[in-house]
Chains A and B, each alone.
Chain A
Amino acid sequence: MIRVAGKEHPWRPGMTVADLLRELGGLQDDPVVRINDHYVSRPNFAETTIPDNAEVFLIPMIAGG
């Protein structure tokens, strides 16, 4: 089990960020997610796996700097 934006979500071995966002549906426009204290950007979603018990946050990234 992982937590996504504070809510529980089922986890499976090998689950990638891209998999998670597909399962969430409609939220896939976030360009960055944070897994615990590690930031992952959209170009790396398909190859980044999520560990069990991870805390995942969806980062909207409108501005910066």
Chain B
Amino acid sequence: MTGYELKLEKTFPYQRPPIDRGYAKQTLHLDLSSLDIAARPVTEQMKDLFIGGKGFDLWLLWNAVKPTTRWNDPDNAVCIACGPLGGTPAYPGSGKSIAATLSPLTGAVIDSNVGGYFGPYLKFSWFDALAIQGKSDRDIVVLVDGIDQTVQVFAAAGLPDDAYSLSEVLTGHFAQGKPRNISVVSAGPGARNTYFGCLNFSWYDPKRKRARYKQAGRGGVGTVFADKGLKALVARWDSGISVETNSPADRERLKKVAKLHSREIVELDPKQNEMAVIGTTHLVTIMNDHDLLPTHNFRFGQHREAPNLGQAVFRRLFDPGYDGCWMGCTVACSHGVRDFTPLTGPYRGRKVFVDGPEYETVAGCGSLLGIFDPHTVIELNFYCDAYGLDTISVGTATAFAMECFELGLIDARHTGGLELYFGNRAAALEIVHQMARGEGFGRLVGQGVRRMKGVFAEEFGADPKIMADIGMESKGLEFSEYMTKESLAQQGGYGLALKGPQHDEAWLIFLDMVHNFMPTFDQKAEALHWFPMFRTWFSLCGLCKLPWNDIIPEDNKGTPEPAKVMKHVNWYAEYFSSVTGRESAPEDLIRMSEAVYNFQRVFNLRMGFGRREHDALPYRAVGPVTELEYESRAERYDKQLTDAGKIDIAGKSTAEKVALLRAFREQQYETLKDAVYKRRGWTPEGIPTLATVKRLGIDFPEVVALLKANGVTA
């Protein structure tokens, strides 16, 4: 690649002391409007209350924005953090970065947990977290160089637009012969032209001799990044990393627990889900068998062609070899397809390496669209990544548009001639290319389901009532790819998630629906307390959630609380204690998360959200919207009406039964909300009480004033 220019605009030299027990103890602040750069100390209060990772992001963001700040205001910040345990090569899943910002889709805080080397390299370079504010009218590349101990800001011209080529070019440019020392964060043209842009975080794969990447996908963090004029962030650090690099408080204790978990995964993953071979693609047929794989915009949970997208296919397609997105991880699930040849778009006819797909992309860009052709799914995966688009929102938004088209709510006059029937592979790909170009109907789809509903109703005359039922968004964020109709707990897992319906907060479908661990409302509420708290904790510490409960100890069944996988939780407490020197038990991990979790709920309130009304779900997430959906599972629904609802359905039409079931299920969801709010220490309006914020130590004057202003008195 020639013809690009990186002109140095600003240099910020610093002197880096050693890492201290997992912390660099500094945060980096850049203003792209003024090119001001500052390093600020991490206070003991930050460490105690917010731990790191997502907690640090939230605190930096809270201090950066005002209640009136909108996603594209210069004040909005893109925050990226690692965590005190991040960057440990011996413990599986310990290389995560957590990105957060005010979302273009929701207006509230969005956070994404992502692999790649950036977060650990940033921390080892001296910064536990960074916050980037302001806007530039030129393309900007920022280098955090921990080896030379400088932060450099470059005005860029002529660089490739897409993340696939940009990662490669910038890796080569800054590597000084050592490409593994480089991690690049970038978005792409799709991020600039939609509201659900993702960020690509790279790591260098020495075996394949190429930059690979993972995505911080949800909520449009890439859109904010691109809107600021950021072309890329680059971290440079010496890749010769050991457990010593993170300066743990007790190295031998750390090594001991790390070895236990690492060895267990090596032993058990081949006997369980084979994530080191097939990633998360094993879920496709399992979800399909349990009527949980979303097809055709979440109408149904099963399709006879689903095995075409299953692990048996991707077992053959994935390029064999080690695929850890962080050094030494034994889960190593970040697989890819070598020598893939796209049939469309700017890479048409050229061999490329595709990072993925994972389950979410297979479901979102496959079955959800009625597409059961793996080649098309891989091509959609490739272009979404290269363009900086979230595959989940792309899939869910496109599926909504397809159903609107099939229902006649919109037609070819509105779509620019695209025949948006389910299963139209060429149309699905064209939509993605249009998103990248910011053109045509794809530009409208790229605004997300919530805005599409408004435009379809106001400009195309579509029925807003049916769109409210089938538009799969909550809080403005598109649903990730699990059916929730038959799991009330997972309806809560999506509807009560702080950022919107994303499964990384609570994934309770199997515990609820298959294992039946939580038959009562109180039991579901209890699970909707502890599960999100454990999941939150991983994002505080710079960790991946998969090693906790995707690979299960063989003796787990005989433990008192098998759903919590307490053997692993105990290991995580040991891990935290050995790195930070802060002696912690499993219950302490919950408390750490509770403080940050409640702070995020308060943050949402501050931004105008975070109340009961914002935890609403589209009815399709709760039950059958149409008679067709009802009749496809009539036996199941009839049984629930008669057994649980105590309703006499004799002589009732399908339409009447749809209405009766709806009333029953919607009431169940409201009852669940009551139970969960109570368990979490919130008011019936879904706001943390004064007693809760005080108990958790987040009763800052501004928080207390905010709660009081919202009618919270105790």
Contacts and interface: CB of A to CB of B under 8 A. Distances in A.
Contact of B510 (A6, A31, A40, A57): A31
Given A31-B290, A43-B290, A64 B272 contact: no
B656 to A, nearest CB: 29
A35 to B, nearest CB: 12
Contact of A61 (B286, B359, B554): B286
A7 B692 CA distance: 51
B405 interface: no
Contacts of B548: 63
B552 A60 contact: yes
A5 B507 contact: no
A52 to B, nearest CB: 20
B515 interface: yes
B271 A57 contact: yes
A61 B507 CA distance: 11
Contacts of B283: 64-65
B280 interface: yes
Contacts of A64: 280, 283, 286-287, 359, 507, 509-510, 550
Interface string B461-487: 000000000000000000011100000
Q: Which residue of A40, A61, A62 has the most chain B CB atoms within 10 A of its CB atom? A: A62
A63 B490 CA distance: 12
B550 A29 contact: no
B290 A41 contact: yes
Contacts of A32: 286
B271 A65 contact: no
A44 interface: yes
Nearest to A55: B271
B478 to A, nearest CB: 15
A8 to B, nearest CB: 15
Interface in B354-382: 359-360
Contact of B359 (A27, A41, A65): A65
B514 A61 contact: yes
A38 B504 CA distance: 27
Contacts of B496: none
A51 B556 CA distance: 28
Interface in B265-317: 271-274, 280, 282-283, 285-287, 289-290, 310-312, 315
A42 interface: yes
Given A27-B557, A60-B557, A64-B280, 18 more contacts: A29-B557, A31-B290, A31-B510, A34-B274, A37-B311, A37-B315, A43-B289, A44-B289, A61-B286, A62-B510, A62-B515, A62-B563, A63-B507, A63-B550, A64-B287, A64-B507, A64-B509, A65-B482
6 contacts: A37-B274, A38-B312, A39-B282, A39-B311, A59-B272, A63-B550
Interface of B: 271-274, 280, 282-283, 285-287, 289-290, 310-312, 315, 359-360, 480-482, 503-504, 507, 509-511, 514-515, 545, 548-550, 552, 554, 556-557, 562-563, 565
Interface of A: 5-6, 27, 29, 31-32, 34, 37-44, 57, 59-65
Question: Lowest 6 CB-CB distances: which A-B pairs, in order?
Answer: A41-B289, A63-B549, A60-B552, A62-B549, A31-B514, A65-B503
